[in-house]
A and B are shown apart, each in its own frame.
Chain A
Amino acid sequence: MTAFPQPFSSIAAPLMRDNVDTDTIIPSREMRSTGRDGLADGLFAPWRYVEADAREENPEFVLNQPPYRDAKLLLTGANFGCGSSREHAVWALAEWGIRTIIAESFAPIFRNNCVRNFILPITLRRPLVEDLAGAEVAIDLCDQTISCARTSYPFEIDAEAKQMLLHGLDAINLTLKQSDAIHDWLAADRPSRPWVYLEHTQ
């Protein structure tokens, strides 16, 4: 796993639509194996290709346009990543090279999936998001600032997500450090809620 790159800068590719869902980010038919790889080709397939089977590119789609082909930063509208919980949507974006998404808002499962995969999800008011379209944008995660030639804004991120992103931390390893507390909790809970603890039925 790779931590969020610092320093970070990229041209900001505008995909200013609301309610972009994970079926559109990676359609189910593009998820061809149980692995996490080989998904970038199907990223935004319904919009990126005029004809998905022939992979004929749609020149109007933002990521097909020359300045944005290598963009690592996506700008978008409200409720980005709604719909299916498939983490494949984030894996596809990551494999394509997207490392930051600045949106008016995110669907909650998608947002968590981003942090787990070291993609930085930033929420900003719509006019500020729109203002960044096409700009070369630098992001300082330590200081929580977004800047381009014209302007600079602060952004919010919760402390734990920030640490995970900055240091590429593995959430399971972090939690395993609290194993004793978890086992104590389970031992105390078992007698009061015996129905929770099932016998093995396989």
Chain B
Amino acid sequence: MAQTLFDKIWNQHTVAVSDGGSALITIDRVFLHERTGAAALKRMAEMGRAVLDPARVFAVMDHIVDTRIGRGDDTLMPGGSGFITETRAACREAGIRLFDVNDRDQGIVHIISGEQGIVLPGLTLVAPDSHTCTQGAFGALAWGIGSSEAEHAMVTSTLRLERPKTMRVRFEGELSFGVTAKDMILTLIAQHGAGGGAGHVVEFAGEAVKALDMEARMTLCNMATEFSAMTGIIAPDAKTFEYVSGRPLAPADFDDPAWAELVSDAGASFDREITIDASQIAPMVSWGTSPEQAIAIDGKVPGGPARAHEYMDLPAGQTLEGIALDAAFIGSCTNSRISDLRRAASILHGQHIAPSIKKALVVPGSLAVKRQAETEGLDKVFEAAGFEWRMSGCSLCFYAGGEGFPEGSRTISSTNRNFEGRQGPGIRTHIASPETVAASAIAGAIADPRAYAKEKA
């Protein structure tokens, strides 16, 4: 019978199916970070339990670490160094590989997983972090869990799960100039709701997805959790295998016919199918406090929940373009890979951010991305434009109580969540692509990146 890519990975990893219908699924990789991982490791130790196969568990310091140049274990976040030192001790105790604060391979978990070849096509991978779905871009079944489930995965190399439903989202046609994977996923969520993917694994397919490079595919899968999906997945192809080969923990070659099997068979049926015309997508910007409250940049704020209008201080009918901004952020597991930085830098080249922008940060997704950007001179472009250039980490993708944006700021951000207070108490966040952030920082107001990119052409 024709199977979906998800079915193949799921079936292969099934140890047993219980009478109640749930399956015991083996987990090939677990990845922890210091924010939620220490709690899981600590609890395991309290219960006298050990990691079954420590060589397949990894941890990184990314969430709480400072991104100041010259950082160490101290953090601007009050109490943050406790998370760092406890995580380090717990990893040593458990015998798991840690990418420490200043390890040359440190970076945001979902970025370094690909860089290191930890995630591979066809694997199951879990992390106590909702954006683990990012790694579905490799054709792996990768999803976010809680701390208790992370313990379960480490102790037993399995998880017990209800079988999710399947959905295929096809983006057909070609993206227009200035439109990116970020705009694709925001369009899907805006059209089908932040709960639209609930209970499903979403396979992204279609011409416009095939045309994306690996980094853009990661951006697309990254926000599957904002769609409430269990995860997103993209069938691996030549681009995937090319990206993966030669990575430190990846196999030497991909000739085994098993790799070529990692696709949904022709005629495989999905519980739900959605098709989106990629050529109709415009650069998207969120106006409200849920990622579903996003519209094309040249649109007007629609009527939504009163609370969202109130928090964002934007009435229905207001034009999005031209709304004055106080801060700009380029970073996060959504958009901080080298291609993101290149595109933003090409808009910022020879330009300067508006004087009204009180804080503008670029935070590379990993130290490897940082080094590459510096080799290309991108750091100089950002700095000349008025952005601060940082060490890698999650940074102001979320507010942890230390560094923040100036009080009351309205920010434009290449991140994935525009929730109330996500970037700090009272901070109003507009999420968008890195090029939209760059263009808006120059304008000092929400701006259409196409106008800025064209000027350069």
Contacts and interface: CB of A to CB of B under 8 A. Distances in A.
B401 A28 contact: yes
Interface in B1-42: 15-16, 18-22, 24, 26, 28, 35-36, 38-39, 42
A34 B87 contact: yes
Contact of A196 (B22, B28, B401): B28
A60 B398 CA distance: 26
Interface residues of B, number: 79
A128 B318 CA distance: 35
A17 B307 contact: yes
A27 B398 CA distance: 10
A29 B149 contact: no
Contact of B24 (A178, A193, A198, A202): A178
A26 B264 CA distance: 39
A179 B157 CA distance: 10
B128 A85 contact: yes
A91 B160 CA distance: 21
A112 B149 contact: yes
B79 A32 contact: yes
B421 A35 contact: no
Interface stretch (B139-147, B279-287, B448-456): B139-147
Interface in B77-93: 77-79, 82-83, 86-87
B420 A85 contact: no
A34 B38 contact: yes
Contact of A160 (B53, B130, B160): B160
Nearest to A162: B20
A33 interface: yes
Interface stretch (B180-188, B194-202, B374-382): B194-202
Contacts of B122: 193
Interface string A43-58: 0001000001000000
Given A28-B398, A105-B198, A181-B15, A117 B425 contact: no
A85 B130 contact: yes
B130 A182 contact: no
A34 B83 contact: yes
A83 B146 contact: no
Given A85-B145, A186-B26, A202-B54, A23 B36 contact: no
B148 A113 contact: yes
A27 B195 contact: no
Contacts of B155: 172, 176
B36 A87 contact: yes
By size class, the interface of chain A is 35 or more
Contacts of A31: 35
A79 B20 CA distance: 25
Contact of A21 (B20, B120, B419): B419
Contact of B419 (A23, A86, A88, A182): A23
A180 to B, nearest CB: 10
Interface string B260-292: 000000000000000000000000000001101
A64 interface: no
Nearest to B426: A46
Interface in B233-265: 249-251, 258
Contacts of B55: 197-201
Given A90-B146, A200-B54, A201-B55, A175 B194 contact: no
A117 to B, nearest CB: 7
Nearest to A176: B156
A195 B157 CA distance: 16
Contacts of A88: 36, 39
Nearest to A174: B160
Contact of A24 (B123, B198, B420): B420
B300 interface: no
A64 B297 CA distance: 40
Interface string B51-64: 00111100000000
A189 B15 CA distance: 11
Q: Which of A84, A178, A197 has the most CB of B within 10 A?
A: A84
Given A29-B401, A85-B129, A160-B160, A198 B56 contact: yes
Contact of A27 (B54, B128, B145, B421): B421
Given A33-B79, A186-B157, A195-B250, A23 B421 contact: yes
Nearest to A51: B425
B97 interface: yes
A36 B39 contact: yes
Nearest to B249: A198
A151 B26 CA distance: 44
A154 interface: no
26 contacts: A19-B195, A28-B398, A28-B399, A29-B399, A29-B400, A34-B39, A34-B83, A34-B87, A35-B39, A46-B425, A82-B194, A88-B39, A112-B146, A158-B22, A159-B21, A163-B20, A171-B148, A171-B152, A172-B156, A176-B156, A178-B15, A179-B156, A195-B251, A198-B55, A200-B95, A202-B98
Q: Which 8 A-B pairs have the closest CB atoms?
A: A29-B401, A195-B251, A159-B20, A87-B146, A113-B146, A34-B38, A116-B148, A79-B195
Given A78-B195, A112-B146, A175-B156, 12 more contacts: A19-B290, A24-B421, A28-B401, A90-B146, A112-B145, A113-B148, A163-B20, A172-B49, A192-B258, A196-B123, A198-B56, A201-B97
